[in-house]
Amino acid sequence: MLILHSFLILFFTSLIRSDPCPQVCICDNIKTFVTCANKNLTEIPANIPQYTQKLILQKNEFKVIPSGAFFPTPYLTHLNLQNCSIETIEEGAFRNLARLRYLNLGSNRINIIHQESFDGLSSLENLILEKNRIEEIKAGAFSQLGALNFLNLEDNFLVYLPDMVFQGLLQLKWMRLSKNMISIVSTETFAVLPNLKRLNLDHNELQYLPTEALTRLSSLTRLELGWNPMTFILEEALQMASLKQLFLNNMALQDVSYKAFEKSKQLSFIDMSNNQIRTIQPLSGMEQLKSLNLTGNSIICDCFLRQFKEWADVLRLKVDLICFGPSHFLGDHLDSLRAIDLKCGNFPEEVYKLPIVTEKPDVENLCPQSCDCKTNVKHAICDNKSLQKIPKGFNEDTTLIDLRRNSFHSVPKGAFLNMKNVASLHLQNCEINEIQPGAFMGMRNLLYLYLSHNKISSLNPNVFEGATKIGYLFLDHNKFTHIPKETFRSLPNLFSLHMQNNTITSLSNNNIAMARKLHWLYVTGNQIDYIAPTAFRNVRDLEKLYLDQNMLSEVPTQALKGMNKLIELRLSKNPIKNIGNGAFVPVSKSIQHLYLNDMRLQQISNGAFLGLGKNIKSLYLENNNLQNLPNMKMFNGLEVINLANNPFNCDCRLLHLHRWISGLNLKVGATCATPKNLRGQKVRNAKFVLCPGWEGNKNRNKRKIPAISTSKTKAKKYKQ
C-alpha cells in the first residue's frame, strides 16, 4: 500500500513538473501554489501550471478579465485579484473554475456586475468585491453562486437595490453592504436568502427602515443599520422572527415607537447609542431582551422614564443610559437610580415633557400638499420636493418637520408661526442665504435646528427670537467668516454648536461667550488663526472643543482658562510647530482626550504636559515631526496612544521613552528614524544605551519645570 502510495506521488509530481513555472511568478515545489503579485503585469501570464490550486495575482494592471481567462487552470480553489486596476469582468471570465472556493476582487475599479460575470463558479464560498465602484448589479448576476457563504460588497457606489438582485444565493450566511449610498431597498431585494444570518447595511443613506424587504430575511440573527440618517422608527417597523442582535447606533433617531419591535420577539440586544432620543417607553413584546444600549442620547431621567425603568428592572435588562437631565441627575447612570426617584416637578423644564404617544383618534389631519405626514408619530416629511416656499398647513401637534433638499433661498419671518410642538426642524441643503429675524417665532419647543449645507454668511441677532429652547444648532458647511455677533444671546439653552467647514478666520472676544450653556463646540475645518484670550469667557461648561483643521500656530492656552470641564480637545491638523510649557494647564484637571496629530509638530517642551496625568485616556501625536518627547511617565491612565509616523531619534536621550513604552500594554506605533542603524525599528524593541555621565545628570530631571510662559503669546489684535 505504502509503496503504491509513494509511486503515485512520484507519478503525479513528475507529471506536474513537466509544467515550468512562469518567469515572473514564484511557484512552490509541486506548483500548486503560484504567486505573481506586484509585477505590473497587464495580462494574466499564459503558462500558469495546470494543476495550480492557489493563485495570487494581486497588484498588477490587468484592467480587463477576459472571457475564459482561467481556462488553462481548472484546479484553482483560491484566486486573488486584489488591486489589479480591473474595470471590466467579461461574461464568462471565470468559466471552468468549478472548484474555486475563494475569489478576491477587492480594491479594483469595477462598476458593473454583468449577468454572466460569475458563471461557472458553482463551488465558490467567499466572494470579495469590496472597495470597487459598483453602481449596478444586473439581474441574475449571482444566480450560479449556489454555494456562496460570504459576499462582501462593502465600500461601493450602490444606491438602489432592486428586487431579486441576490437571487440564487441559497447558502449565503453573511452579506456586507456597508459604506455604500443605499437609499432605496425594494421589497423583494432580500427574497430567497433562506440562510442569511448576518447583514451589514451600516453607513448608508437609508432614511426609513425597509420593513417589508427585511421581513423576507427569516433566518437573520444579526442586523447592522448604524450610521444611516433615520429619524424615527414606526410601530412594527421590524418584523424579523429570528433576529437577536440589532444595531441602530449613530443615526438621528428621535422617536422609537414602543411597538417598533413587537414582532421581532427573539431580540436580545439592541444598540441605539448615539441618537437623539429624549424619552423612551417600555418596549412591548420583548421577553428575550437582555441588553439595551442608550448611551449618547439626551434622555431625561424624570417621571416619564419611570415606567421604562420599572419595566427594565422587572426584565433584569442591562440598560446603558446616562441621564441628560434633570440637572440633579445629569451624568448619572440609570442603574444607580431607583424608579421612585424619577420624578417631575421641581424644575421648569416642561420642554422635556413631550406628550407620550397615545392612540387618540386624530380629529383633523392637516398635511401640506407635497409632504408626507406620519400622523402616528407626528412627523411631516417634505424632503427633496422641489419646494421654493416653506409650506404652510402642518398639523399643530407635529413634532418633526423635514424640509431637506428644497430650494427656499430665504426663511421669512414667521414661517413656522403655529408650530409650537416641533422639536426638530431639518432645513439642510436648501440653498438658504437669508434668514429673516423672527423666522422661527412661535417654535417654543424647538430643540434641534439643522441648517447645514446652505449659503448662510451671517445671522441677525434676532433670528432666533421666540425659539429660545434651541439646544443643538447645526450650521456646518455654510459661508460664515466669523461667529455671528450677539446671535447667541437669544439662545440661552444652546448646548451644542456646529460650525464645521465654514471659512471662519478667528474667534473674537465675545461672540461665543454669549452661549453660556454651551457644552460642545465644533469648528473643525475653518481657517481660524487667532483665538482671543477672552473668546470663551463665561463658557464654563464646555466639554468638547473641536478646533482641528484650522490655521492655529500655537495652543490657545489663554483662551482655555476657566474651562474646568473640558474633556476633549482637538487641535489636529493645525500648523503648530512647538508646544510650550504649561500649554494645557488650564484644562489639566478635566481633560481626557487630546488630539495633537498631523500638526507638523517639531518640539514639545519638557513642561508642555504640566498638570496632565492619569486623567488622560487618549493621546494622539501621530504624523508629526517629533524626534524626541518629554517624559511621559505621568500618563498612567492611557487607553489609546498613537505616536506613529514621527522621526524619532533613538539615541540615549530617548531611553526614557523606550523604557516607558516597554512598560505599556498598548500599541504605540513609535519607530526610530535615526540613527541610521536603527531606522525603521520600533522604539519598543530598539537597543538603547545610557547617555555618557547619565548618573551625574540624573538630578537634572528633578529640577523644577519652568512656570507657564506667556511671553510668547501672540499680541495680534483682532480686527472687528
Ligand X SMILES: *[C@@H]1O[C@H](CO)[C@@H](O)[C@H](O)[C@H]1NC(C)=O
Minimum Å gap between C-beta 386 and ligand X is 7
Q: Does residue 60 touch ligand X according to CB under 6 A?
A: no
**Cα–Cα distance for residue pair 71/486, rounded to 1 Å:** 73
Candidates 292-300, 437-445, 600-608, 711-719: pick the segment binding ligand X (CB under 6 A): 292-300
Q: Which residues, 6 or more positions from 136, have their beta carbon under 8 angstroms from its beta carbon?
A: 111, 112, 113
Minimum Å gap between C-beta 492 and ligand X is 25
Minimum Å gap between C-beta 271 and ligand X is 6
Toward ligand X, which CB reaches closer, 295 or 649? 295
Among 490, 472, 546, 481, residue whose Cα is nearest residue 508: 481
Q: Which residues, 6 or more positions from 599, have their beta carbon under 8 angstroms from its beta carbon?
A: 571, 572, 573, 574, 575, 576, 577, 623, 624
- Sign of the Cα torsion 628, 633, 634, 637 reads positive
Q: Which residue is nearest to ligand X (CB)?
A: 273
Minimum Å gap between C-beta 380 and ligand X is 17
* 210 alpha carbon, distance to own chain's centre: 22
Among 65, 64, 60, 74, residue whose Cα is nearest residue 25: 60
Number of residues located near ligand X, criterion CB under 6 A? 23
Helix (H, G, I), strand (E, B) or coil at 256: strand
Minimum Å gap between C-beta 189 and ligand X is 18
Q: Does residue 59 touch ligand X according to CB under 6 A?
A: yes
Among 132, 416, 136, 376, residue whose Cα is nearest residue 256: 376
Segment 63-92, which members bind ligand X (CB under 6 A)? 82-83
Q: Does residue 297 touch ligand X according to CB under 6 A?
A: no
Q: How far is CA 104 from CA 316, 443, 697, in A?
A: 45, 54, 58
* 127 touches 154 (CB < 8 A): no
Candidates 107, 264, 276, 505; binder of ligand X (CB under 6 A) is 107
Minimum Å gap between C-beta 107 and ligand X is 4
Q: What region does 695 belong to: left with phi over 0, alpha with psi -120 to 50, or beta? A: alpha
Candidates 36-44, 369-377, 557-565, 621-629: pick the segment binding ligand X (CB under 6 A): 36-44
Minimum Å gap between C-beta 200 and ligand X is 16
Toward ligand X, which CB reaches closer, 62 or 416? 62
Binding mask 241-280 for ligand X (x = CB under 6 A): --------x---------------------x-xx------
Toward ligand X, which CB reaches closer, 399 or 505? 505
Q: Does residue 210 touch ligand X according to CB under 6 A?
A: no
Minimum Å gap between C-beta 226 and ligand X is 9
Is residue 639 classed exposed, middle or buried when 0-12, 13-18 and 19+ CB atoms within 10 A define those classes? exposed
Toward ligand X, which CB reaches closer, 109 or 413? 109
Binding mask 317-346 for ligand X (x = CB under 6 A): ---x--------------------------
* 183 touches 207 (CB < 8 A): yes
Q: Does residue 476 touch ligand X according to CB under 6 A?
A: yes
SS (H, E, C) 604-661: ECCCCCCCCCCCCCEEECCCCCCCCCCCCCCCCCCCEEECCCCCEECCHHHHHHHHHH
Minimum Å gap between C-beta 446 and ligand X is 21
Q: Does residue 221 touch ligand X according to CB under 6 A?
A: no
Among 167, 153, 244, residue whose Cα is nearest residue 201: 153
Minimum Å gap between C-beta 407 and ligand X is 12
Q: How far is CA 538 from CA 286, 428, 521, 640, in A?
A: 46, 30, 14, 32
Candidates 34-42, 145-153, 228-236, 358-366: pick the segment binding ligand X (CB under 6 A): 34-42
Q: Does residue 295 touch ligand X according to CB under 6 A?
A: yes
Binding mask 373-392 for ligand X (x = CB under 6 A): -----------x--------
Q: Does residue 525 touch ligand X according to CB under 6 A?
A: yes
Toward ligand X, which CB reaches closer, 296 or 471? 296
Residue type, 509: N
Give me the count of residues in the chain: 720
Residues near ligand X (CB under 6 A)? 38-40, 58-59, 82-83, 107, 249, 271, 273-274, 291, 293, 295-296, 320, 384, 476-477, 500-501, 525
